[in-house]
């Protein structure tokens, strides 16, 4: 089974309007946390997420959360790459 790429090392907090959103599961999207179609040709597909009421969401970008698509703090176990 393929593993997703790490799309980020912290959640992206956004105020969301009610509606349907497609969360990136592969980690390759340039439009994190949402799908931009970069998964094409892989075993990944976006996760449909419906927001019922306007609210602030902490979207997972590390792709390791047990509460997908939302952050559960799993990114804290990762070590971000060092900048040169």
For the chain, give the percent of residues with pLDDT over 90: 90
Q: Model-level pTM?
A: 0.91
Q: What is the full DSSP assignment across 13-39?
A: EEEE-SEEEEE-SSS--TTTTB--STT
Neighbouring residues of 77: CB distance < 8 A, sequence distance ≥ 6: 64
33 preceded by a cis bond (ω within 30 of 0): yes
pLDDT digits 0-9 by tens, 32-54: 999 999 999 999 999 999 999 99
- Specify the pairing of strand 12-16 against strand 47-51: unpaired
What kind and span of H or E run contains 47? strand 47-51
Would you place residue 57 in the very low, low, confident or very high pLDDT band (cuts 50, 70, 90)? very high
Contact 4, 42 (CB under 8 A): no
Q: Which residues pair with 20 in a beta bridge?
A: 50
What is the domain partition of the chain in residue ranges? 12-67
Domain 12-67 has CATH 3.40.5: yes
């Amino acid at each position: 089974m393929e593993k997703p790429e790490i799309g980020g090392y912290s959640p992206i907090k956004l105020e969301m309007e009610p509606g349907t959103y497609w969360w990136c599961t592969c980690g390759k999207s340039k439009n994190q946390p949402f799908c931009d179609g970069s998964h094409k040709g892989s075993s990944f597909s976006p996760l449909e997420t419906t927001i019922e009421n306007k609210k602030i969401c902490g979207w997972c970008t590390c792709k390791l959360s047990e509460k997908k698509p939302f952050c559960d703090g799993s990114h804290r176990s990762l070590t971000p790459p060092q900048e040169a």
